[in-house]
Amino acid sequence: MKTLLVLLGPTGVGKTEWSLRIAEELKCPILSADSRQIYRGMTVGTAAPTDEQLARVKHYFVGTLSPEAYYSASEYERDALSLLQQLHQEHETVVMAGGSMMYIDAVCNGIDDIPTIDAKLREEVSELYQKEGLDAIRARLKILDPDFYDEVDLKNPKRVIHALEVCLMAGKPYSALRTNPEKARPFRIVKIGFTRPREELYERINRRVDDMIENGLVEEARRFYPQRHLNALNTVGYKELFDYFYGNCSLDFAIGKIKQHSRNYARKQMTWFKKDKDIRWIDLSEETDVEKKVFNNLSL
């Protein structure tokens, strides 16, 4: 039976190495389900697979888009399903690995039919945001879609801006389009979640940030500083360093914030994933028979 093996979990848990090992065993490629690794040049800040890792297993959706490009979960759903149709002709099982909740949900369950935002409208909303700030976007969203306004994270520019764009593009409230229909897929889906005890996970995240700094994250972020307004760069690791470059804080403070915000994101990911009863969890802190457990679940 054609199968999509989804390996998921919070940032820093160890998905990359285990997905490589499992894909090597299956002799299949990996579809990255990471909404930031898809952009070129952001290799250190997104902990993208290294050249050595990419040589071990063929990856898709890694470093394929310019940071200027707009890309949504619905576009990922479309592209991933099209690719899977091709890959399943050669591979009984294909691995998808990552931690972007919306990307994983889009492929596994389907996503609402949200209209594609045209470039002119996106530019107009972006100009409003640049000139008048997030408060102006919030104010318009509150008028056009008070229901979604009440539930969205109003501190998240990406979510608020996207909701306003959809309202304007569709001519109706974003909340009216969010029906969450589960769509049938022509393949079996097996979801394996990787986890660790919280303190161990947080320590791994802190060490990984230190490694990123040592491996050139500051220099990478500095190259992107002129493009800091792009949505792709509204990302943990970059936005904190942009504050440092602007003179709002010290480098040590920025690094501390990267660690804090990364831990917060990991907690958010786990809250999201724990709602999915189809995920079969493996605690990597034990690291005994991990592959055996994955393949046992795959054979059920």
49: domain CATH number is 3.40.50.300
At residue 254, the pLDDT reads 98
164: domain CATH number is 1.10.20.140
Q: Which of 177, 197, 212 is the last residue of a domain?
A: 177
Domain around 166: 119-177
Higher local confidence (pLDDT), 180 or 171: 171
Residues 219 and 89 in one domain: yes
Residues 165 and 40 in one domain: no
Residues 26 and 161 in one domain: no
Q: What is the pLDDT of residues 127-166, one digit of tens each?
A: 999 999 999 999 999 999 999 999 888 888 888 998 999 9
- Full-model pTM: 0.84
Residues 23 and 144 in one domain: no
Residues 198 and 171 in one domain: no
At residue 95, the pLDDT reads 98
For residues 290 and 18, is the Cβ–Cβ distance under 8 A?
yes
Q: What average pLDDT does this structure show over 242-261?
A: 98
Residue 182 scores a pLDDT above 80:
no
Residues 136 and 23 in one domain: no
Q: What is the pLDDT of residues 228-237, one digit of tens each?
A: 988 899 899 9
- How far is CA 173 from its chain centroid? 25
Residue 180 scores a pLDDT above 80:
no
Specify the long-range contacts of residues 82-90, CB closer than 8 Å, at least 24 apart: 83/31, 84/4, 84/31, 84/187, 85/186, 87/28, 87/29, 88/2, 88/187
Residues 157 and 197 in one domain: no
Q: Is 236 exposed, middle or buried (0-12, 13-18, 19+ CB in 10 A)?
A: buried
Q: Which of 136, 156, 177 is the last residue of a domain?
A: 177
Residues 151 and 295 in one domain: no
At residue 118, the pLDDT reads 84
Q: What is the pLDDT of residues 196-210, one digit of tens each?
A: 999 999 999 999 999
Per the structure, the count of domains in the chain is 2
Q: What average pLDDT does this structure show over 30-40?
A: 97
Residues 161 and 271 in one domain: no
Residues 195 and 249 in one domain: yes
Q: What is the pLDDT of residues 72-128, one digit of tens each?
A: 888 999 999 999 999 999 999 999 999 999 899 999 999 877 787 888 898 899 999
For residues 274 and 10, is the Cβ–Cβ distance under 8 A?
no
Residues 222 and 88 in one domain: yes
Residues 136 and 96 in one domain: no
Q: Which amino acid is at 184?
A: A
